[in-house]
Amino acid sequence: MPRPVTLFTGQWADLPLKILCEKAKSFGYDGLELACWGDHFEVDKADQNYCDEKVELLKSYDLKLFSISNHLVGQAVSDNIDERHKSILPDYVWGNGLPEDVQKRAADEMVKTAEAAKRLGVKVVNGFTGSPIWHLLYSFPPVTPEMIERGYEKFAAQWLPIINEYEKLDIKFALEVHPTEIAFDIATAGRTIQALGNHPNFGFNYDPSHLAYQGVDYVQFLYRFADRIFHVHKKDVWWSDVPTEVGIFGGHTEFGDRRRAWDFRSLGRGKVNFEEIIRALNRINYNGPLSVEWEDSGMDREFGAKEACDFVKRIDFPPSEIRFDSAFEDN
């Protein structure tokens, strides 16, 4: 059975879900990964009737649901809260804007997201966590090991109560490893798992694009965390092989600026080696959805989303159930 190909709705939240369902079906997708913003999925409204209506809407377009994603609220659980977060959070989570209060409401909302996932009948919530130590990334003024350790301890104190509730509900939380998160490469992902005491309900939403342009071995990530790959995003990225005007930190430029050293690209138009990713997914026995997170500031998104769906279906393949040279053996 080929893996289902789904479309993450986060970049389409300006469209009503019904309209997006029509488009996704016409593009060839097997399902959607619902973002918890726009009208796609609203956690504060998610009683059983609401959840049933969402599932029925997708079914009416022959679309399946395997996960929901709450990146924006998750970001506020462990971030250093400032005015940026007001623009990404629901008003009732932002509230009075006091950092500790925002973090507490965000944590409560992430638990409610797991409860909603249970009502929907899905097993995975994808998202971000934020980080209390991202601002210490470049070690000047000098950052001590103790400062970093305290950051992981703070993160664990904020997220362990949430993940414990996920365990009670039999829901997995899948962090999208990403700059600005507590885990943004292989080393920090390993340290995050350690900080949470190897909690079985915490793992990863694998997205190679956020690792590749950093120079991180994005295929090795799959092998390193084989038992914690709970969900997979398909997204491509281009990076320059020669010096550029703007380096890996982005130079405070917008995506699409031609001076940049890297930029997200529609699937198949960047430099990510998806052949090796599929082989790795086969070796670690990942059979979940391949969810297209479509981003390319230089391409029409409807053209790109259809092309991306076709690309993923073309490059996916099942593992062999026999050794190709077994036919040469004596019977």
Q: What are phi and psi of 248, to 5 degrees?
A: -65, -25
CATH code for position 158: 3.20.20.150
The DSSP element (H or E) to which 145 belongs, if any, is helix 145-169
Domain span holding position 118: 5-328
Burial class for 112, CB neighbours closer than 10 Å (0-12, 13-18, 19+): middle
Residue 201 CA, distance from chain mean position: 16
The domain tally of the chain equals: 1
pLDDT at position 193:
98
3-state secondary structure string, 152-200?
Answer: HHHHHHHHHHHHHHHHHHCCEEEEECCCCCCCCCHHHHHHHHHHCCCCC
Q: What are phi and psi of 134, to 5 degrees?
A: -60, -35
Q: Which portions of the chain are predicted below pLDDT 70?
A: 1, 323-331
Q: Compute the distance between CA of residue 194 and CA of residue 197 in angstroms, rounded to an integer.
A: 5
